[in-house]
């Protein structure tokens, strides 16, 4: 019986690596991992490719014979770059996905899964459904570039699904955390940065902003489970799904939970000179539950504990790199 050939783009990134490490355990899948400028890592049953996905010739080289594409490649950053360099989210991401989706169409790939985001949603105290995005309402100025780029790529998914036999899934996932997160303080989002600050602190930590922002946080294992279910059970040619925990936690509360779980006695200070993007968001994922049978399994308390345990085992506290790569 032939295996299903899966191409995981962005395989050295946070989400991509979790996809590679878990999907490569499936005996019925032949996993091909695409990297750009970072080195490959050891993982059994994985075939590696180097490619610049902004280059159509490179895409042509890696896409031949592929059944499923998991598109986790993107230019990403934390709140600092969203404020100071918002343009970096727009150009490369629009270009690479345009070329990749066209190639998927031309090569008759069976299924493409694209990771979107949730910054297009308004701040809200209620759970937000996929239909709660209103294109006539302006996005938060700091999210204008990244939000509209993601919306454009979602529409490309819908367009190509409508003119081909390729199935497309656009995944509006909430803030992802877990193993292989960005734990350095320059590139990380608040969760990974907070884990590193807590684990390396002696007596106090400094948190950007007021901590009033409320986030929906999803463990990477639950995101992998979502992808597996979408591949197996999605029936429609194009589907847009929310994928989150379904609860909103303030940054302040998450920081306190991480400090408590670490067992350290630390003073928490707030650096009010740093950016605070005041939003409140939690996702209604009832569509994914109804159509895919998916629900998150890992609550935030357990997720924080397992992430801290993983950090202790795998991250060098001096270099903040993986111990085997330090």
Mean pLDDT of the chain: 93
pLDDT of 71-111, one tens digit each?
Answer: 999 976 555 566 666 676 788 899 999 999 999 999 999 99
pLDDT at 190: 86
Say if residues 74 and 10 touch (Cβ distance below 8 Å).
Answer: yes
pLDDT of 224-275, one tens digit each?
Answer: 999 999 999 999 999 999 999 999 999 999 999 999 999 999 999 998 887 6
pLDDT of residue 197 exceeding 80: yes
Using CA atoms, how far apart are residues 274 and 42, in angstroms rounded to an integer? 38
Using CA atoms, how far apart are residues 165 and 178, in angstroms rounded to an integer? 35
Q: What is the dihedral of CA 86, 92, 97, 102, to 10 degrees?
A: 140
Domain 4-177+217-246+281-297 superfamily per CATH: NAD(P)-binding Rossmann-like Domain (3.40.50.720)
Centre a 10 Å sphere on the Cβ of residue 321 and count the other Cβ atoms it contains: 13
Closest to 146 in 3D by CA, of 81, 240, 192, 207: 81
Say if residues 202 and 242 touch (Cβ distance below 8 Å).
Answer: no
pLDDT at 65: 97
């Amino acid at each position: 019986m032939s295996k299903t050939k899966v191409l995981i783009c962005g395989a050295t990134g946070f989400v991509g690596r979790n996809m590679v490490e878990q999907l490569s355990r499936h005996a019925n899948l032949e996993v091909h991992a695409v990297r750009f400028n970072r080195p490959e890592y050891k993982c059994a049953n994985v075939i590696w490719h180097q490619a610049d996905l902004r280059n159509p010739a490179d895409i042509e080289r890696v896409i031949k014979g592929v059944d499923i594409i998991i598109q986790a490649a993107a230019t990403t950053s934390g709140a600092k770059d969203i404020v100071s360099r918002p343009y970096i989210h727009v150009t490369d991401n629009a270009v690479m996905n345009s070329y990749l989706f066209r190639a998927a169409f031309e090569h008759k790939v069976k299924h493409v899964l694209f990771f979107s985001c949730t910054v297009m949603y308004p701040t809200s105290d209620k759970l937000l459904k996929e239909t709660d995005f209103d294109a006539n309402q302006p996005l938060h100025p700091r999210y204008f570039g990244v939000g509209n780029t993601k919306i454009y790529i979602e529409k490309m998914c819908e367009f190509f699904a409508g003119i081909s036999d390729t199935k497309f899934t656009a995944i509006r996932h909430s803030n992802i955390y877990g193993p292989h997160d960005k734990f350095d303080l320059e590139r990380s989002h608040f969760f990974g940065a907070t884990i590193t600050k807590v684990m390396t602190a002696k007596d106090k930590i400094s948190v950007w902003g007021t901590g009033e922002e409320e986030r929906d946080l999803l463990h990477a294992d639950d995101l992998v489970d979502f992808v597996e279910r979408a591949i197996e059970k999605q029936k429609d040619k194009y589907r847009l799904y929310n994928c989150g925990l379904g609860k909103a936690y303030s940054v302040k509360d998450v920081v306190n939970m991480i400090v408590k779980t670490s067992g350290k006695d630390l003073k928490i200070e707030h650096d009010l000179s740093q950016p605070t993007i005041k939003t409140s968001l939690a996702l209604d994922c009832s569509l994914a539950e109804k159509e895919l049978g998916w629900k998150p399994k890992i609550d935030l308390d357990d997720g924080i504990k397992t992430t801290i345990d993983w950090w202790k085992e795998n991250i060098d506290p001096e270099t903040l790199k993986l111990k085997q790569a330090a």
